[in-house]
Chains A and B, each alone.
Chain A
Amino acid sequence: MNVASDSNWEPDPELLAAYFDGEFEGRPELADMRARVEAWLEAHPGAKEEWAAHRKLRTLWQETTPAEPADAAWQETLARIQAGQRGSTETRRRVPWLPLLAAAACVYAVIALGWGIAQFRNTPEPSALPVAIAPKEIPPPQDEPVEVLPVADASEITVLRIDGADTATLVVGLLPVDGDLELADPGEVRIVHCRACPRGVVPHVRQGENRPMIYARADTD
């Protein structure tokens, strides 16, 4: 790997942490990466000092970390916890006024409930309360005629433009074309002239026995 050719390369924090934790040591397959990191640290003395301080802190943490307790210590601690739980239960049993306190609370709750019911029963009847009176619904006068919305008949509506798919939805009105399209008969159409018609596609009017039709052949025909 050509380190010098990649001057913009910068190790990420995880890679630097692995380097300072010594994870590259004793691993020849990472020698190239290790050389690359060391070259970067040489070029960046500030980062080197920062990571050296980090390594010093890590070493200090490892040196001051207390040893793991032995199994005997764990057993002794567990026995003390269990003994403490038993003592707490016995202490509760030895409190004589605790049931009395609970009974007093129940009596108080019953008294409060009875007082609430009595207050509810003393509430005056709804008819005695002042309420707003809703106005009575006024029926429409029977003698006035009800206006029926007038609907135009077919002769009064002429549809000027409509999509072919929408013609079936028309309720009232005359379509521009009603029913089949009546075609002109032979001899009833004559071309006067054709101006600026595309070369070679001058429209023709078919005559003879067939019905007249102006047509121009397309390039695809």
Chain B
Amino acid sequence: MILQCAVAIGLVLVAFVPCPAPGEKDPVKVTLVVILAKEDGNKIDPRLKAIADEVRKLHPQFKSFELKHMETKSFKPGEKVSLPAVEKKNVEMIVKRGADKENRVELWVTAPSLGEIEYQTVCGKFLPIVTRYNTKNQERLILAIRVQPCRGD
């Protein structure tokens, strides 16, 4: 009888415990968008208009922006993943820390012709990274990285 009561009380307590919000150790989903910018042509993918506007403030010579591909992958903080970028070059990344109380995520990224960059960024938004890598067709490799889910999602 006592055991049955204890089980019942435990179930009631479990039912009232709220689902935990994504913590710093929960798996996160990283979205990588690979973009190629060219100095010739005049074709900008409509989805890249905001990025193109920002990049052209620094590199006005870029006239065309192509969305090469997009990819999403879930992995745990501390786990190293490698995602293909272009021409058999990869982007490696580690989520150093998931979304904290301020919804900031800490990410470690290394991209072609770039070193190892560790940065904190807001959750759920893209950060453009303009690399030094030029493809064989003289296209500049640009990455856009987003981390989700955020606290409260």
A, B assembled together: yes
Q: In A140-192, which residues have CB < 8 Å from any B CB?
A: 158-164, 167, 175-177, 179-185, 188-192
Contact of A176 with B114 in the complex, beta carbons under 8 Å: no
Q: A181-B33, A196-B116 are in contact. Are A216 and B49 (CB under 8 A)?
A: no
Contact of A195 with B129 in the complex, beta carbons under 8 Å: no
Contact of B128 with A177 in the complex, beta carbons under 8 Å: no
Which residues of the partner chain B approach A183 to less than 8 Å between Cβ atoms?
Answer: 50-51, 54, 125-128
Contact of B115 with A197 in the complex, beta carbons under 8 Å: yes
Does A106 interact with chain B (Cβ within 8 Å)? Answer: no
Binding site for A on B (CB under 8 A): 31, 33, 45-51, 54-55, 57-59, 66-73, 106, 113-122, 124-134, 140, 144, 146
Contact of B72 with A218 in the complex, beta carbons under 8 Å: no
Which residues of the partner chain A approach B118 to less than 8 Å between Cβ atoms?
Answer: 191-195
| A4 to B51 CA separation, bound complex (whole angstroms) | 82
> In terms of DSSP, what is the predominant structure of the interface of chain A?
loop
Contact of A188 with B121 in the complex, beta carbons under 8 Å: yes
Does A58 interact with chain B (Cβ within 8 Å)? Answer: no
**What residue in chain A is nearest B49 (Cβ atoms)?**
A180
Contact of A194 with B116 in the complex, beta carbons under 8 Å: yes
Which residues of the partner chain A approach B117 to less than 8 Å between Cβ atoms?
Answer: 191, 194, 197, 203, 214
Binding site for B on A (CB under 8 A): 158-164, 167, 175-177, 179-185, 188-198, 201, 203, 205-206, 210-221
Contact of A211 with B54 in the complex, beta carbons under 8 Å: yes
| A203 to B49 CA separation, bound complex (whole angstroms) | 23
Residue among A158, A159, A181, A195 having the largest count of chain B Cβ atoms under 10 Å? A181
Least distance between A34 CB and chain B CB atoms (Å): 65
Which residues of the partner chain B approach A162 to less than 8 Å between Cβ atoms?
Answer: 69-71
Q: Apart from A180-B47, A189-B127, what are 13 other A-B pairs with CB-CB below 8 Å?
A: A164-B67, A164-B68, A175-B70, A182-B125, A183-B51, A183-B54, A188-B122, A190-B121, A196-B115, A198-B115, A212-B127, A213-B127, A215-B58
Contact of A205 with B47 in the complex, beta carbons under 8 Å: no
Q: A198-B132, A212-B127 are in contact. Are A164 and B120 (CB under 8 A)?
A: no
Contact of B126 with A214 in the complex, beta carbons under 8 Å: no
Which residues of the partner chain A approach B45 to less than 8 Å between Cβ atoms?
Answer: 164
Contact of A163 with B68 in the complex, beta carbons under 8 Å: yes
Contact of B132 with A217 in the complex, beta carbons under 8 Å: yes
Least distance between A64 CB and chain B CB atoms (Å): 80
Q: A160-B71, A162-B70 are in contact. Are A181 and B122 (CB under 8 A)?
A: no
- Of the A-B pairs whose beta carbons lie under 8 Å apart in the complex, a sample of 20, sorted by A's number, is A160-B72, A161-B69, A162-B69, A162-B70, A164-B66, A164-B69, A180-B50, A181-B33, A188-B122, A189-B127, A191-B118, A195-B116, A197-B114, A206-B58, A213-B129, A215-B59, A215-B128, A216-B131, A218-B133, A221-B59
